[in-house]
Structure 1
């Protein structure tokens, strides 16, 4: 076989290996994104409460002051802001990767070859110029600029930068979601604090009523209308409710400190006005249409950006199968004596080289990264669908919750009115010996429980108002 034929065969083999290195395995994957229903309750109203800023939505000045302080001092939010800065710096790093890298350096060294070696023998018999022997040992001084550049012919590096941009945008949306969550958590804790204040006030009023009833029972015992048992029963009821005060006081302390933690400050009293809490009317809520969730909900927007980044990551992983073109070059001056270092062109050095490299042996590692990138993309699709579904269900649940709580509150208000009147009735009947002392006692218990439940229902109403505002994507704008 002739040498020319052998070279042709070797060339064909190398070409087949080169193109096989560029082959990319096909991965079938489903990336269809589900659409949301057209409405929540067959309403076509596009007016959306999420468009309101939190300052317009929350009218209580004490609550507004807490939220405003938390948005600058909350530690968790500030940690997330630093995550945003880290992601921003990743963009700068990725951008630098597809630009040429230029380095300038100064170097020096010394070399001594053994006399009875090839290099040593040549140096010993060589003159730099007539009458001037080769230096021994030999200094080496160099001043040079070196450049390396991977030519981004498959857009691998530019796509990596684009992916970093989407991840940076997703961290911003994550910060916005944190703001929404922080505002709703402070508002819910604030309304819980108002409810606890009202329950404590109700309990103290009830203790006063029971103490008055206890005095009546003691007088009835003196006149032999009741026994010592009735006195002890009423006395035990008073003591039970006096003890119950301290559980509420502990809850107030814990709720205040929860708010203080969210605001980023050490424990201190939380300014508030708890009067007329049960008369608070939740703001009217306009839910708009479900497609507005895609624009208003930061967690959906975050999932969307992560999905976009994962798609680009697949392109980056795919580009690893293709050959990469690297160019290196440099220019400078080199001499064994400083006085010759800038003697041009004798001391000048330069080099330029390029290489086209395709992966052959390490394809399993590249395949693994490519498969992982595809799996992460599919994960991002499911995460996006799950986030949209969760957002819709959250809004639907809160809409139903608001409606049911309003009906429950109306009925409980009537219940409280009836039981409050029954206290006076039962006390009057007891004085006239037409009712048993246990009837008076049970009536007072029922009245207290109903007033507690009324306050609890009002708190749940205010929580539902806050939660639906957050579920619609309000608060971060």
Structure 2
């Protein structure tokens, strides 16, 4: 028997060198030399930690709280812990299975049965006892790499969970920054509206005095009052949006809805010069969702190996030994009660062949699908970066024009009021100038916030935010 086991082990070792599955190789993906609208540069803002990019202390505190307490991130971390335990379990697959059992048996056959007569003649007893203590070891030889591929798939799935945590964090960092900058924009628009309301109020008083003097009619007063009311209604609308945005930010940080402290001013946040996007190929290693898509191929490739290995013969080796006796008094009589066994089996599936082949073909298609998803993810990532770069460039141009428009309209408001007081312009010209100036200032604040949004999206699209 020993020779048989040795022969089986030698056979297993020889067959173990056979590989039924190709090792993973990264698929070819088409990436440009540089992003559209950017110059090639090895440096990237995504290499910065989020604390370096978002220097506002109140914003940093919000992001830090979100990373610690956001429920989406906590759920992702919990999934990572589950995946880690599964990976550790998979590592044990290649170890032998060890079992220990203790058994006792008592049998009292009929005196007139063949067993009863035999026992009485040979053992001089009317019953049989048997006591056994057994330790057994079972091991499946990983000839075709099935267990190795199972471990590789488990590791890839664990790493996917890890990348998922990073992806959730990058999104949370971006969402909190978006929300905070939106608050700053709303604050600015509220300030603009209040200033414009003050102007509308003073113009209404001036128009009322002119009416009392008989210089303008009631319609002029009503038009001035209507513009004041139109400006007034903006204030509670903006305050409503501020309250909703504050609540959303607090929920993102895992806290109950409440007010949000802020110290920054929208204009001061526009420090986004000399932004470098790096090279597109770096997205493959930096962006968590792209890394996760690639790890999905690794896992699919390993599962393909498992499916193919399942179609080949499996070698199982069993060994055991212990103590056995017909009498309890002799149970631990060593070496008389010692026994041992060893066996090796090679099993080849026959009737499940079609099912196993189908599983293999499905696994091949799943790997092909994973490759397509990976390539699509890379393409989308490059597109997101390119979009953010275009937005940054064009929003800068828009800001220059919008700022010039604001300056022009502010001067127009001042001139129209002077002309109106000198009876060289009518009230409609003043109202038009004030209304246009209000809309231009609100639009400028929106454009400035849009630049910050584009910068946030560029940072996220490049894979920044998880460091």
TM-score, normalised with respect to structure 1: 0.87
Q: Does the residue aligned with 1:287 lie in a helix, a strand or coil?
A: coil
What residue is the counterpart of 1:165 in the other structure?
A: 155
Deviations 1:310-349 (CA, angstroms, capped at 9, x unpaired): 1222111111111001122321223454322212344334
8 Å CA contact 2:109, 2:126 repeated in 1: no
What residue is the counterpart of 2:44 in the other structure?
A: 48
Q: Does the residue aligned with 1:269 lie in a helix, a strand or coil?
A: coil
Matched, 1:193 2:183: yes
Paired with 2:456 and 2:273, the residues of 1 have a C-alpha distance of: 9
Paired with 2:267 and 2:112, the residues of 1 have a C-alpha distance of: 102
User: Pairwise mapping of residues 115-126 of structure 1 onto structure 2 (< 5 A)?
Assistant: 115-123=111-119, 125-126=120-121
What residue is the counterpart of 1:205 in the other structure?
A: 195
8 Å CA contact 2:184, 2:266 repeated in 1: no
Q: CA deviation at 1:150?
A: 0.9
What residue is the counterpart of 2:409 in the other structure?
A: 419
What residue is the counterpart of 2:380 in the other structure?
A: 390
8 Å CA contact 2:90, 2:151 repeated in 1: yes
Deviations 1:290-310 (CA, angstroms, capped at 9, x unpaired): 222222222222222221221
Paired with 2:415 and 2:365, the residues of 1 have a C-alpha distance of: 72
What residue is the counterpart of 2:171 in the other structure?
A: 181
Q: Does the residue aligned with 1:143 lie in a helix, a strand or coil?
A: strand
Closer/same/farther in 2, CA of residues 218 and 334 from structure 1, 3 Å limit: same
8 Å CA contact 1:194, 1:277 repeated in 2: no
Closer/same/farther in 2, CA of residues 433 and 320 from structure 1, 3 Å limit: same
What residue is the counterpart of 1:39 in the other structure?
A: 34
1:320 corresponds, among 296, 310, 316, to 310
Matched, 1:60 2:52: no
8 Å CA contact 2:314, 2:347 repeated in 1: yes
Closer/same/farther in 2, CA of residues 474 and 349 from structure 1, 3 Å limit: same
What residue is the counterpart of 2:79 in the other structure?
A: 83
8 Å CA contact 2:179, 2:249 repeated in 1: yes
Closer/same/farther in 2, CA of residues 109 and 452 from structure 1, 3 Å limit: farther
8 Å CA contact 1:195, 1:277 repeated in 2: no
8 Å CA contact 2:131, 2:324 repeated in 1: yes
8 Å CA contact 1:148, 1:327 repeated in 2: yes
Paired with 1:322 and 1:275, the residues of 2 have a C-alpha distance of: 68
Q: CA deviation at 1:388?
A: 1.0
What residue is the counterpart of 1:216 in the other structure?
A: 206
Matched, 1:368 2:358: yes
Matched, 1:272 2:259: no
Paired with 1:208 and 1:108, the residues of 2 have a C-alpha distance of: 98
Paired with 2:406 and 2:204, the residues of 1 have a C-alpha distance of: 22
8 Å CA contact 1:67, 1:183 repeated in 2: yes
Q: CA deviation at 1:116?
A: 4.7
Gaps of 5+ in 2: 1-17
2:96 corresponds, among 97, 100, 106, to 100
Paired with 1:166 and 1:87, the residues of 2 have a C-alpha distance of: 10
Q: CA deviation at 1:106?
A: 2.3
Paired with 2:194 and 2:428, the residues of 1 have a C-alpha distance of: 21
Paired with 2:262 and 2:136, the residues of 1 have a C-alpha distance of: 67
8 Å CA contact 2:172, 2:252 repeated in 1: yes
Paired with 2:435 and 2:53, the residues of 1 have a C-alpha distance of: 38
Q: CA deviation at 1:33?
A: 2.4
Q: Does the residue aligned with 1:270 lie in a helix, a strand or coil?
A: coil
What residue is the counterpart of 1:153 in the other structure?
A: 143
What is the number of residues matched between the two proteins?
446
Paired with 1:415 and 1:35, the residues of 2 have a C-alpha distance of: 43
Q: CA deviation at 1:78?
A: 1.8
2:67 corresponds, among 71, 81, 86, to 71
Paired with 2:350 and 2:377, the residues of 1 have a C-alpha distance of: 41
Matched, 1:473 2:460: no
**Between 166-175 and 407-416, the greater mean CA deviation after superposition:** 166-175
User: Pairwise mapping of residues 428-447 of structure 1 onto structure 2 (< 5 A)?
Assistant: 428-447=418-437
Deviations 1:232-283 (CA, angstroms, capped at 9, x unpaired): 3322332333232222112111211221112111122222124353673324
What residue is the counterpart of 1:232 in the other structure?
A: 222
Q: CA deviation at 1:430?
A: 2.3
Q: CA deviation at 1:127?
A: 4.9
8 Å CA contact 2:50, 2:464 repeated in 1: yes
Matched, 1:142 2:138: no
Q: Does the residue aligned with 1:333 lie in a helix, a strand or coil?
A: strand
TM-score, normalised with respect to structure 2: 0.89
Alpha-carbon RMSD across the aligned residues, in angstroms, is: 2.4
Deviations 1:215-236 (CA, angstroms, capped at 9, x unpaired): 1121122122223233233223
Paired with 2:216 and 2:114, the residues of 1 have a C-alpha distance of: 127
Paired with 1:315 and 1:369, the residues of 2 have a C-alpha distance of: 11
Q: Does the residue aligned with 1:133 lie in a helix, a strand or coil?
A: coil
What residue is the counterpart of 1:133 in the other structure?
A: 125
What residue is the counterpart of 1:13 in the other structure?
A: none
1:399 corresponds, among 389, 392, 401, to 389
